[in-house]
A and B are shown apart, each in its own frame.
Chain A
Amino acid sequence: MKHLIDIKNLSIEEIDNLINVAQDIMKNKEKYAKKCEGKKLATLFYEPSTRTRLSFEAAMMELGGNVLGFSSANSSSASKGESVADTVRVIGGYADIIAMRHPKEGAPLVAVMKSEVPIINAGDGGHNHPTQTLTDLLTIQCEKHRLSSLTIGICGDLKFGRTVHSLITAMSRYQNIKFVLISPKELKIPDYIKKDILEKNNIDYCETNNLEEYMSELDILYMTRVQKERFFNEDDYIRLKDYYILNKEKLKNAKKDLCIMHPLPRVNEISTDVDDDERACYFKQAKYGKYIRMALILDLLEVK
């Protein structure tokens, strides 16, 4: 039985295969409309999420399956003190596959150790969010038509941003990738990402706190939100939350085919005047998320 806990669990070939299936789904929706008929997806969301949960639910529905679950810890048995391991053992009797989001890091791995059905990590604290990374990879493939030879700027919270860590891990396996890491000094990329991933794989990277410094070189600009829920100290959050705001003016030196991405939700970090720019890909990115999750559900349920 396969699970997806960390993007590192997938080989490049497996990722390519998921991307190919997702692109085929986009072209031939009817072909997939009944693939999961009679199957159920449980969405166990211990912390609030709109996009990821609805994206999973929409993905299963578009495959002809059904969904059940909860959308906050308060509406689950976790509020009575039930452990993650017990919950997945129970839910495994009701559903064929589980997508789990949990505020604590490693919770989905605990689920895997006890589950009798495939588990998908839908985000565990500041740790991993592999389906967001798959979404990002599908977006890059669809918009840039390649996953190699790219200069990728990543801006915002590089310290706590799980999407950032997973994206760097995933893209570091492709050829000729350069990262421009843009953050205030308090939110710089952790040393272990630099040492264990970037330096270990001889990936070219530079760090700056200036959003515009390398703008003209970027093929992709990945903006992130400074997440309030990752801070223990609210003063730090308030000081850093609006550090970067991307607007039309800041894009004046950017390439014409730049791809601007954001895992969403966006707060202030991308001005709405960028939304109509044809380089803004973040709403398309959210849509791609549904298709890659459809491909993933098919793969984990071993539906041909």
Chain B
Amino acid sequence: MNIESIKNGYVIDHIKPGKSFEIYNYLNLGELDTTVAIIKNARSSKTGKKDIIKITDNLDINLDILGYLDPNITINKIIDGKIVEKCHPDLPNQLVNIVKCKNPRCITSIEQELPHICELTDRENAVYRCKYCEEKVNK
């Protein structure tokens, strides 16, 4: 199976097999009008199998969320056909409308319009807390 190599864009590599659609949705890639390829169950020397997402002709996507979803992902930024940056994503300092606070005592439980904002309070242990009630949130 051939997927064209991309000239400008991102290759999101080492996604846990089966997780690429979840990431596609979190990044709202369905809204892009450029080419996006999802490769499922690609062969991986490290893990046996992996998923890959390729995004062409778009370098403005905010990929911060990937650090929260899976810090083992590799992001390759490609310009003029060359990898100019290769990194693992960092944990973002803030998550907006990614995870919902489940504390029934939180103001977000009664005010549906409020954005669900979680802040990183412990980078070492990847702990996020609701900005409003400070309750720990889980993936």
Chain A positions near chain B (C-beta within 8 angstroms): 83-85, 102-107, 109-110, 124-127, 192, 196
Beyond A125-B105, A126-B105, whether A105 also contacts B132 by CB under 8 A is yes
B107, B121, B122: the one contacting A104 at CB < 8 Å is B107
Contact indicator A84/B105 (Cβ below 8 Å): no
- For this complex, 10 residue pairs linking A to B, each with C-beta atoms less than 8 Å apart, are A103-B105, A104-B109, A104-B133, A105-B132, A105-B135, A106-B108, A106-B133, A110-B132, A127-B105, A192-B136
- Count B-side interface residues using an 8 Å CB cutoff: 19
Contact indicator B113/A106 (Cβ below 8 Å): no
B3 contacts partner chain A, Cβ-Cβ < 8 Å: no
When C-beta atoms are compared, the residue in chain B nearest to A126 turns out to be B105
Q: How far is the CB of A163 from chain B (nearest CB, A)?
A: 16
When C-beta atoms are compared, the residue in chain A nearest to B135 turns out to be A105
Q: How far is the CB of A256 from chain B (nearest CB, A)?
A: 39
B58 contacts partner chain A, Cβ-Cβ < 8 Å: no
Contact indicator A102/B105 (Cβ below 8 Å): no
B1 contacts partner chain A, Cβ-Cβ < 8 Å: no
Contact string, B121-133, partner A, CB cutoff 8 A, digits 1/0? 1100000001111
A83, A105, A192: the one contacting B105 at CB < 8 Å is A105
Beyond A110-B132, A192-B136, whether A105 also contacts B114 by CB under 8 A is no
Q: How far is the CB of B101 from chain A (nearest CB, A)?
A: 9
B111, B121, B130: the one contacting A84 at CB < 8 Å is B111
When C-beta atoms are compared, the residue in chain A nearest to B133 turns out to be A105
When C-beta atoms are compared, the residue in chain A nearest to B122 turns out to be A196
A110 and B106 CA atoms in complex are apart in Å by 11
A295 and B68 CA atoms in complex are apart in Å by 43
When C-beta atoms are compared, the residue in chain A nearest to B114 turns out to be A110
Q: How far is the CB of B120 from chain A (nearest CB, A)?
A: 13
9 nearest A-B residue pairs (beta carbon): A106-B132, A105-B133, A104-B107, A106-B107, A107-B107, A106-B133, A125-B105, A105-B105, A105-B106
Beyond A83-B111, A110-B114, whether A104 also contacts B106 by CB under 8 A is yes
Contact indicator B109/A109 (Cβ below 8 Å): no
B84 contacts partner chain A, Cβ-Cβ < 8 Å: no
B 70-118 contacts with A by CB, 8 A: 103, 105-111, 113-114
Contact indicator B107/A105 (Cβ below 8 Å): yes
Residues of B with C-beta under 8 A to A104: 105-107, 109-110, 133
Given contacts A85-B111, A127-B105, 9 further A-B contacts (CB under 8 A): A103-B105, A105-B103, A105-B132, A105-B134, A106-B131, A106-B133, A126-B105, A127-B133, A196-B122
